[in-house]
Structure 1
C-alpha cells in the first residue's frame, strides 16, 4: 500500500479489537481475507506509525491519546491519522466520540465531525456538529454546541443544558458561548424545536470550571419563549457548586404592620466547613431587620447560630402590652441548633430559642423549626444526650418552653431538667427464660405559678384561658380551690420524681396452638415535692390540704397472665381466616396517694383498642394503675391471595378487686370521664378493611357499657385510585363525647379531608379542610360575642350559646400548580387558626405563591387578606 496508508474495515457485528502501542485498531476478518500477501507489511507499517503517534501525544504525566474506530487511516504524506466509524479518542479522563475524527500531528489539533460528543472529567457531556480541539481536548472551537450536565440538587437528579451556535473552549477551564441559551428543562419529545418552559438567553455565556461560575451578558429570562425579565449582567454558581459566596434569592415582604420590603440574603463561604449568611430586610414601616446565621460543620457534627434584631420605627403598629409589643423599640431573637455524634452509640445536641417577646417571630415572619404549629404556639428549647445499644436506650434532656400566644402566661410554663430515660432488655436467666426489661425515669421540673383550669358548669364554656396571668372574666374561674370546680394542670414549685420498673415475660405455645404469656413487674417511685404556696395563683395550691410535701414514694408489684387462642382456617381462594379470643388478668395492690401527688406527664389518657391490653393504661410515670383487673376481648381477621384484608377487634376492661385507679381523679381529674371509671369499662373496638393496597377503611369506637351510647368514634378512609383515576384522597370523621370533669363541657365533632388530583403528569390540584361541627357550642368568638353573651347570661344563669351554622371551617387549603424536572410553581389559599389576643380575628387567611426554577433559585410571595389583624399581637387596621 504505497503512500503509507493503512486501512482496516470492521466486521458488521463490531469486529475484534486489538491495541498496538496503546492505540486500538479494529481489523475485520474481511480485511484479513482480501489483503493477501500485503497484510504483513501493512500491519507492520501501521504498528510503526501508531507507535510514533502515541509517542508524540504522551504528556509529562504519562497520559496517552488512545484511539478506537471501525476504520483507521494513517497518512504519512499529510502527517495525519483519521478514525472513521464509531470513532472514540480518550485522553486521561476525557473522551471524544464522533463519526469521523482527524488528528493533525503537525498542529496537534483534533478535528471531529458528525454526532460529536465530548465527555470531561466531571461527567459533563458536550455535543456539537463539529469540533476543533487540541490533542488534550482542553482548547478549541465547537459549532452547534450543546452541553448536558447531570447534578444532584436537594437529593434530586437535575440535568442542565447549554446550547450555542458556536463556542470556544479555553485551557480546559473556561468555555465561552456566543448567543447561547441555558435551561434545566428537558426538550419537548414531540417538538424539540419548541422553547422549553424557561430558559435564559444571553449574548454571551461564560462557564468557568475553575471558579465554578456561570456569567451571563445581555441576558433575558424567557418563560414559554416569552421574555419576562432583562438582566444586563449577572453571575451564578454552576450546578456542581453547593457553597459559593454571593447573593441568594431575595424575599419580598408585605404586611400591614411591617409595610412593604425586601430581604436580600448574602452568603459568605468562609471555608468548606463553615459559612455566614447575612439577611438584612428593608421594611418601609419598621426600618431594617438584621439577620445573621453562622453555620459550621465539624468532624463529628455541626451547629448553627442565628441572630435577628430590629429597632422599630413604628411600634404602634402592634398591640400594647400585655397583648403585644407596642411598648418595645428593640425586638429580636437568638436561635441555635447543634447535632454531634460522639461515637457510633452516643450523640448529643441542642435546639435553643430566645426571644425578646412572644410575638416577635410571628410578627416578622421568621421561620423556626422548633415552633409548634398548634392552636396555641410555643417555642421549645432542649438539650440532649442519647445513647443506643443493641437492646438498650439512654436519653437525657432538658426543656424550656416559651409561650408564643397572648393567652399564655410564661410563669405557668415549666422548666424541665433533667428528664432521663433508660431502657434495657436482656434474656431471662437459665430455665426462667423469656425477656427481662428494666426501665428508669428521672424527671424534675419547676414553675413559678400554678397552672389551673376552671371546670365549666354543665353546658358552660370550653376552657378558662388567662392573658398573662389574668383570667378572662367571662369564664368560670377558681376563686378558691376545690375539686368540683378546678383542675390543676401543673403545680407551682419544684417536683422531682425517680421511677424504676423491672419486668419479665415469657410466651408458651402448646400443641393446640394456645399462646400463654405469664408476666410480672415491680414499679417503684420516689417523689421530692416542694410546692409553692405563696404568690399569684399559688394560694390555690395552699388550699389543697392533703397534697404531699417533701419526700414520699410508692411501690407497685404486679403479676399477670395473657392468654390467646388463635383459630386459623384456610379456605383457599376465600382466604385465611383467624379468630382469636384474648384474655388478660393482672393482680396488683391498689394505687396509693391518688390526688396527693402532682400529675405532669400522665394527663393524656385515651382508652381505645390500642390500650385495652396495656399493662398500665396511664400515659406517663406520674400515675400508676392499681387493683386487680381483667381485660377481655377478641379479634377476627381475613387475608386473601388477591390482597383483601379485614380485621375486627372488640373488648372491655373489668375492675375485679381493689381501688379503681380511674374512678378517683387526681389533681387534673385524669381517669374521670375516660370510660374506665366504672367497674365494667366502656366497650372499645376497631374495624379495618382493605379490599386492595390502594384503599383502606378504618374505624375506632368506644361505646357506653349500659346503653351502648357512642362516647368516642373515629372513622376514615384513605384511597389512591391510580392508574384509573389520578386521585389520592383521605376523609376522617371524629366524635368525642363531653368530658366535663376534664374541662370539655360539650361534645367535640369534626371532619378532616385531603385530596390531590393530577390533571396531567405535571399539573395538579390539591386541597384540605378541617370542619368543626360543634363550633356553635364554643365561646371562642370575638370579644363582642362573648360580652353580649355575658350580659344576656350572667354568672349563675343557664348558658346561652351563640346561634349560627354548626359547620365551621376551622382550617382550609386550596391550591394547584405545575411541577416538572426543571420547574415548580404553585398557588395556595390557606385558612388556618392562630392564637390571637382578645378582640382580633380568629383565622389567618393567606395567599401563597411559590416559584422554583431549579439550579437558578426559588421565591415565594405570601399575602395576608382581610381588613383586620391576622397575626397575634398586631393592632387592628381601621
Structure 2
C-alpha cells in the first residue's frame, strides 16, 4: 500500500523552505530517530519539480537525500536529469549524480560520468557528450560534442565547454579549447549563427559566418563576414523594436575583383510605426554604390530601386495618405536623368458619407508631383505638379424584378503646373464631369445534381468629358483591361489623364458552384465607344471597339486553381494572354504562369514578348524536401533564370543546398551561377532550434 507523507513534518529544512515537499512510496519507514527510508516507486514533489527513484534515504544530521536509481528529476521548465545514483539536498539546490544525463528543453541531451548541482544555479558535468540527435544503442549520433567539463548556467541559460571536440558519427572533426553556446531555452544570445557557403562564378567559393549581438531586450545587430577569393565583404543587420513600431537597417560593404579598387555596397532602412491611433508611418530607404552591386551579391534582381516615406490614416469613412518616393535606375540604358522621373510625391484624401438607401457621397483630394533631375526641355526634363479634387455620388437600388440599378455622377477638377516643356502650357485647369448608369440582372438556377449556376449579364452606359486640354500623362501610361475594371468609370491607373467620351460597357459572367466542392467562373466583356480612344495596342482599350475580354477561372479540389485572361480583336489576333496555375495538392506545391504580349511601340516594346515561369516544391518525406524555379523567354528561346534547392533535416541538424543560375547580362553584370549551402545544428538557440522529425532507433 502506498503511503503519502508530508516531509515538512519530519524535515526542518523543508519546513523553512519556500515550498512544501511531498513524498509518495510503496514503503516508508523511519530508522532510528534521524533517517527516513522510502522504497519502491518513490516519487518526491517539490516546487514544481518531480523526482522518481527506486530508493530514497533522508539523513537528518547531514540534510541529504541519497538516491538509488534509476533516478529521474523533471524540472518545472522541462529540464530532465536522469542518473544511476546520487546525493542531493532536499531543496535540489546542490547535488551529485553519477552515470547521469541532462536533457534541456527536450532537445539537447548531455551525458556525463558525474553531474554536480551547485547553488541551485550551476550544473557541472564531467566527461560529457552533448547532442540533440537520437542516440540508438552503441551507434554514434550524427553529431556530438565531447568535453572534459561542461557547465550549464541556469540563470544566464548558457553552456560552457572545456577542451571540446566536435564529432560526426564518432569521428573527431575539429578541437576547440573553450566555447560557449546558449541553451535551447534562450531565444536571443550573443554568438555565431548557422554558417553559409556561397559559390559564384564571379566571386568564387566563400564562407558567410553570421555573428549575433544582442544590445538589450529590444535591439540587436548581426555582423556577417563574407570571405571568398573574389571578395571581402561585411554584411550587417540592425533591428530595434519600439513601443510603436519596428526599425530594420541592413547593408554591406565589399572590396572585390569585379570592380577592383572600388568600395562597393548598399544600405537600406525599413520601418513601420504607429504614430497615432489609426495612423501609420512606413518607410523604406535604400542607396547603392553602383548599378550592378545588388545583382552581383544576390540582394535583388530589380532594374530600379525605390526609396519612399508614406504616412497613412484609415478610419471607417476616411482614408488619407501622403508619400514621397525617390527612384534610382539600375538598367544600363537609364541614367536616371533621361525620360524617367527621379522624385515623386503623392497625396490622397477620401471621405465617404453614407446617405442611406444604398447610396453615398464621396469627396476626394488628390495631388502628385513628378520631378526630373535633367535640365533639358521636353520629356527628358519635364516637371509636373497636379492638385485635384472631386465630388462623387453613387446609388444602388434593387427592383422587385431582381434588376439591380446603379447610378454614378462625379465632377473632377485638376490644376496643373508644368515646367521645362515648351510643348504644353505651363498652367492648366481641367474639369471632368462623369455620369454612368449600370444595370445588372443576376439569374440563378439549381441543377438536378445540386450544382448552382449564376448568370449575370450587365450593361453600363458611361460618359465623361475632359475638354480639349492636351496634358502630359505621367502616371497612367500602362492601363490594363480586365474583369476587375470592365465596369469602371476610369480605367487609367493615375490621375494625370482620365477616360473620355461616351461608352457602352457590356459583360456577362457565368459562375457554377458544384456540390462536390469545385467552382468555375467565365466572363466575356467589351467596350463600345462613340469616338476613337487613344490607348496602346496591348491595353486592349484602343479604338471605337475594345478587344474582347475573355476571362475564366476553375477552382478544383485540394487547392488546384487554373485561370486565364485573354484580349483578342475581331480578326482573332491576340493583344495579350496570361495563364496561371496554382496548386497545393498533398506534398506538392506549384505555381506556374505563361504570358504573351503583342508588340507595342507605345510602351517601348518593339517585338512580341512571351515568357513562362514556374515555382514548384515537393516534400518527399519528413526529412527531405525539394523546390525549383525557372523563367524562360519563349520569344528569344533562351532561359532567364533557374534554380534548385534541396533541404534535409532531422531532430538535430538542418541542411539546405541550392544552385541558381541567372542568364541575363549587360555592361555592368555578367551571367552568374550561385551555389549556397547552409548547415544548422538544432538544440542551441544560436543554431536552428525547433522540433524536427524525430529520430528512430531500429533493432
TM range (shorter): 0.7 to 0.9
Q: Distance in 1 between matches of 2:337 and 2:428?
A: 26
Q: Structure 1 576/255 Cα, relative in aligned 2: closer, same or farther at 3 Å? A: closer
Look up the match of 2:437: 561
Instruction: Give, in whole Å, the separation in 2 of the partners of 1:124 and 1:425.
Output: 58
Query: Against the structure 1 CA distance between its residues 56 and 816, is the aligned structure 2 distance closer, same or farther, given a 3 Å change threshold?
Result: closer
How far off is 1:299 after superposition? 3.4
Correspondence for 2:341 among 397, 414, 430 = 414
Instruction: From 614, 619, 630, give the equivalent of 1:769.
Output: 630
Q: CA distance change for structure 1 residues 342 and 117 in 2, over 3 Å: closer, same or farther? A: farther
Instruction: Kindly indicate whether the alpha-carbon contact (under 8 Å) linking 1:586 and 1:629 is maintained by their aligned counterparts in 2.
Output: yes
1:743 equivalent to 2:604? Answer yes
Q: TM-score, normalised by structure 1?
A: 0.71
Q: How does 1:352-751 map to 2 (within 5 A)?
A: 352-362=285-295, 365=297, 367=299, 372-374=300-302, 376=303, 378-412=304-338, 414-428=341-355, 433-449=358-374, 491-531=380-420, 541-542=421-422, 545=423, 547-549=424-426, 551-590=427-466, 592-593=468-469, 596-655=470-529, 657=530, 659-660=531-532, 663-664=533-534, 671-704=536-569, 706-722=570-586, 726-751=587-612
The Cα offsets for residues 733-753 of structure 1, whole Å up to 9 and x where unpaired, read as 222222233222222112222
Match of 2:125 in 1: 177
* Partner SS for 1:57: helix
Cα distance in 2 between the residues matched to 1:392 and 1:193: 70
Structure 1 residues 858 and 401: alpha-carbon distance in aligned structure 2, compared to 1, 3 A threshold = farther
Give the distance between the partners of 1:831 and 1:283, measured in 2 at CA: 19
Taking structure 2 as the reference length, the TM-score comes to: 0.87
Structure with bigger RCO (C-alpha 8 Å, 6+ apart): 2
C-alpha distance in structure 1 between counterparts of 2:567 and 2:385, whole Å? 35
Change (3 A) 1:304 1:392: same
CA drift of 1:607 comes to: 1.2
Contact 2:22–2:46, Cα closer than 8 Å, also in 1 = no
Instruction: Specify the structure having the higher radius of gyration (Cα).
Output: 1
Q: Which runs of 5+ in 2 are unaligned?
A: 689-699
CA RMSD of aligned residues (A): 3.4
**Corresponding residue for 1:789?**
none
For structure 1, the residue ranges without an aligned partner over 5 or more in a row are: 1-8, 11-24, 27-45, 151-157, 319-324, 452-479, 482-487, 532-540, 665-669, 776-806, 860-878
Q: Which residue of 2 aligns with 1:792?
A: none
1:141-160 mapped onto 2 (5 Å cutoff): 141-150=96-105, 159-160=107-108
**Partner Cα distance (2:207, 2:581) in 1:** 44
Q: CA deviation at 1:492?
A: 1.7
| Cross-structure match for 1:104 | 59
The Cα offsets for residues 624-672 of structure 1, whole Å up to 9 and x where unpaired, read as 11222221111111112221212111111111x3x55xx23xxxxx544
What SS class does the counterpart of residue 492 from structure 1 fall into?
Answer: coil
2:276 to 326, 338, 343: 343
Residues 760 and 630 of structure 1, relative CA distance in 2, 3 Å threshold: same
- TM-superposed CA distance for 1:682, in Å, is 0.8
TM-aligned CA deviation for residue 224 of structure 1:
4.5
Q: Tell me the residue number matched to 2:681.
A: 853
Find the residue that maps to 1:342 and give its secondary structure: strand
Cα distance per residue 1:431-458 (max 9 Å; x no partner): x55233333322222112389xxxxxxx
1:703 CA displacement: 1.3
Deviation for aligned residue 1:217: 2.6
Q: CA deviation at 1:754?
A: 2.7
How many residue pairs match? The answer is 686
Question: CA 1:199–1:566 in structure 2 vs 1: closer, same or farther (change >3 Å)?
Answer: farther
SS in 2 for 1:507: strand
Distance 1:71 1:116 in 2: 16
State the distance in 1 between where 2:38 and 2:319 align: 66
Aligned to 2:694: none
Is the Cα–Cα contact under 8 Å of residues 644 and 692 in structure 1 kept in the other structure? Answer: yes
Contact 1:444 1:496 in 2 (8 A): yes
Q: If each structure's strand is expressed as a fraction of its own residues, which one has the higher value?
A: 2
Asked if the contact 1:69–1:84 (Cα under 8 Å) also holds between the matched residues in 2, the reply is: no
For residues 856 and 845 of structure 1, the distance between their equivalents in structure 2, rounded to whole angstroms, comes to 32
2:114 match: secondary structure: strand
Instruction: Say if 2:478 and 2:603, in contact at 8 Å, map to a contact too.
Output: no
Which residue pairs with 1:30 in the alignment?
none
Aligned residue in 2 for 1:484: none
